[in-house]
């Protein structure tokens, strides 16, 4: 029994020694990468780094250490394409990875952060993009009664009230009321100024009276023009205010449903 225990312990010790050797070899190889970097052997370092990353005994922490030397070497060689690819591999290994400013050049850190930010933006865009989408759209504009149309012509906004669109109906009729009130007031002022000009006699200042009349005339006509445009807009809004679009399909994140109600 005692002999069997000794044999078992011997096998366990041998197993631990054999399994620890590859790990120790990887550590030594990483140290050799540092020497290559100090000796400006950037191309050789990158090739050796690729070889070490393919080793099944290389741990996650070791991989990140190797990637750091490879990134610095690629940057030193001005190979931004390779550097970007290495950064992608680093972030794939550890999305929260950051470079230590005590070990890495500020320029490399800045480059790393820019690429990291761009990759994050691309990832967000890809997540939101919709592929193989099948649209199922439903659009309609409600049937408007002739009475509502006629009412809107006479008083813009009243047609919305007749169609039970109280929110816009109250807003539009209020604006229309302001327009109508302004037009009536400007018409009264225009009439007074015209009468003053036409009845002027003797030493009256005809130029001043005419300018006054002309200014009132232009204000009244401007209000009428703007009110006409406002009338056309309310009619258009009355007939298009409830266009509904429903889109359904599959996105990269699963089923997607979009509902749009046009104002």
User: Which one, of 116, 28, 27, 125, lies nearest residue 71 by Cα?
Assistant: 116
Report pLDDT digits (tens) over 61-82: 888 889 999 999 999 998 989 9
What is the per-residue pLDDT for 18?
A: 36
Which residues face 48 on adjacent strands? none
Least confident residue range of 53-57, 156-160, 211-215: 53-57
Question: By the 8 A CB rule, do 240 and 262 touch?
Answer: yes
Residue 99 CB neighbours (<10 A): 21
**208 has a pLDDT exceeding 70:** yes
Per-residue pLDDT averaged across 19-46, rounded?
Answer: 77
> pTM for this structure?
0.41
Residues 21-28: contacts with CB under 8 Å, at least 24 apart: 22/55, 22/57, 23/57, 23/59, 25/57, 26/52, 26/55, 26/57, 26/58, 26/59, 26/62, 27/62
Q: How confident is the model at residue 256 (pLDDT cuts 50, 70, 90)?
A: low
Domain boundaries, the chain: 2-128, 146-247
Topology of domain 2-128, CATH: 1.25.40
**252 has a pLDDT exceeding 90:** no
Report pLDDT digits (tens) over 118-177: 888 776 655 544 444 444 444 445 567 888 889 888 899 898 888 888 888 899 999 999
DSSP character at residue 132: S
Least confident residue range of 43-52, 154-163, 178-187, 198-207: 198-207
Tokens of 197: 């000009």
Per 3-state DSSP, the chain is made up of helix, strand and coil in percentages (nearest 5) of: 70, 5, 25
Tokens of 181: 């009130």
Which residues face 244 on adjacent strands? 261
Look-up of token digits 């200014």: 215
């Amino acid at each position: 029994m005692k002999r069997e225990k000794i044999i078992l312990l011997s096998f366990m010790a041998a197993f631990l020694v054999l399994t620890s050797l590859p790990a120790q070899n990887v550590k030594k190889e990483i140290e050799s990468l540092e020497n290559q970097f100090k000796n400006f052997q950037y191309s050789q370092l990158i090739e050796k780094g690729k070889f070490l990353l393919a080793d099944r005994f290389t741990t996650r922490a070791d991989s990140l250490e190797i990637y750091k030397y490879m990134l610095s070497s690629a940057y030193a060689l001005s190979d931004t394409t390779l550097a970007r690819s290495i950064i992608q591999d680093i972030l794939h290994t550890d999305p929260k990875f950051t470079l230590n400013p005590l070990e890495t050049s500020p320029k490399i850190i800045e480059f790393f952060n820019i690429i990291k930010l761009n990759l994050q933006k691309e990832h967000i865009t890809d997540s939101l993009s919709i592929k193989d989408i099948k649209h199922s759209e439903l659009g309609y504009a409600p049937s408007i009664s002739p009475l509502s149309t006629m009412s809107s012509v006479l008083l813009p906004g009243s047609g919305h009230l007749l169609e039970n669109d109280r929110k816009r109906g109250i807003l539009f009729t209020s604006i229309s009321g302001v327009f109508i009130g302004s037009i009536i007031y400007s018409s009264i002022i225009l009439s007074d100024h015209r009468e003053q000009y036409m009845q002027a006699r003797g030493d009256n200042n005809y130029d001043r009276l005419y300018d006054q009349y002309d200014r009132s005339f232009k204000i009244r006509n401007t209000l009428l023009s703007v009110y006409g445009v406002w009338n056309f807009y309310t009619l258009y809004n009355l007939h298009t205010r409830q266009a509904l679009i429903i889109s359904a399909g599959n996105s990269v994140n699963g089923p997607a449903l979009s509902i749009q109600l046009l104002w």
